[in-house]
Amino acid sequence: MTEPARRQTVPLTCHGHSRPVTHLSFSPLEKEDSYYMISSCKDGNPMLRDGQTGDWIGTFLGHKGATWQARLSPDASTAATSSADFSAKIWDTHTGELLYVLKHDHIVRAIAYPYENSGLLATGGYEKKLRIFDLADQRPATSPSGTSPEPVTIDASKAFEIGEGVHKDIIKFIVWARDPNVIITASGDTLRWFDLPSRRCVREAKLEGEIKSCELVSLAPSHSAPTDIGGGLPVLAVAAGKTAYFWGGSRAEDELKRITLPHGIASVGLDLKGRKFVVGEEPGTWARVYTWDEGQEIDVHKGHHGPIWSIAFSPDGNLYATGSEDGTIKMWKNCDGYYGLWRGGVSGSGTD
């Protein structure tokens, strides 16, 4: 007797972008368990959405080139975006106003806030330089009522460079570890760990192939537990070649597992509590779900019409989002019962 086919919960599709979605991420958990999602796109217009429903909140207008990454600050008061227009920009998430322009000499691919500090931002890209900007040094001037403040422009020469001359390839991802003195970069096929007080590279790991995604995965403190993958600490999830790599600990340098799959991986997301991970296959357009413990495929999500470049789990773990070359974002329920705009049922196997 064959096992009955599982009926998947229908995903929510977020439209609005006109070109490929390059990156998406969630904010930390806010009051009343709300949170936000931000996306970057080759159309140059990063978008802010309600994290539970995907409803559009606003678009940050001002970049003159593709945006490669977008992240929300730890307190969700600002958003940072990196762009092909040789800049990173920082925006007020409540008003949409541009607060800072961080000028570079080439395309900016990667940005990262520290885990608990909204006053610093790390950048990297085609210059192959890891820089840290201290935003507290300069603040936008207070504007007269009803007018927008003039954004502060900070030249890259004013930033602190970390690991001078170390990177030989474009810096595509930056991750700030739970330990604020440790920052990690993904460049070519190599991960590097840097000690900020000494500004030196203290470790390198050469992976199977070019690194396609590199994210620090964490749950809100109210939702995390010692029984989670990583023991309640964030986990570094990396996709390179056909292998998904995972590191844990406060410095994200303790290798927890590496799992090689029968296909290439364009992106990876990790369900810390549900003990599974999701990958965007490459080449291909499907998201495949595997168990953490056995590495067995348990689900396939179809619906995108292009490669999935980014996968992110919400801070409560109740959903995850996929961003694709096809210009859409899809949100997939990862819990039982009612949640967000879903009317109920069992995730992955029940009714909507």
Q: Are 28 and 118 in contact (CB under 8 A)?
A: no
Q: Report the phi/psi class of residue 74: left, alpha or beta, with left for phi > 0 and alpha for psi in -120 to 50.
A: alpha
Spans of all domains in the chain: 12-333
Q: What confidence tens digit (pLDDT) does each residue in 220-254 have?
A: 999 999 999 999 999 999 999 999 999 999 999 99
Helix or strand or coil: residue 334?
coil
Q: Which stretches of the chain score pLDDT less than 50?
A: 1-7, 345-352
pLDDT, the chain, mean = 93
Going by the DSSP 8-state scheme, the letter that residue 342 receives in this structure is B
Helix or strand or coil: residue 97?
coil
Q: What confidence tens digit (pLDDT) does each residue in 156-179 have?
A: 999 999 999 999 999 999 999 999
Tokens of 238: 């990396």
**C-alpha angle with apex 211: 311 to 322, nearest 5 degrees?**
10
pLDDT score recorded for residue 330:
97
pLDDT score recorded for residue 349:
35
Fold annotation for 12-333: Methylamine Dehydrogenase; Chain H (2.130.10)
The candidate with the shortest Cα–Cα distance to 154, out of 110, 175, 123, is: 123
Helix or strand or coil: residue 158?
helix
Tokens of 216: 């620090």
Which residues, in sequence order, are bridge partners of residue 175? 184
pLDDT score recorded for residue 1:
38
To the nearest 10°, the Cα dihedral for 268, 112, 114, 72?
-80
The candidate with the shortest Cα–Cα distance to 131, out of 101, 155, 97, is: 155
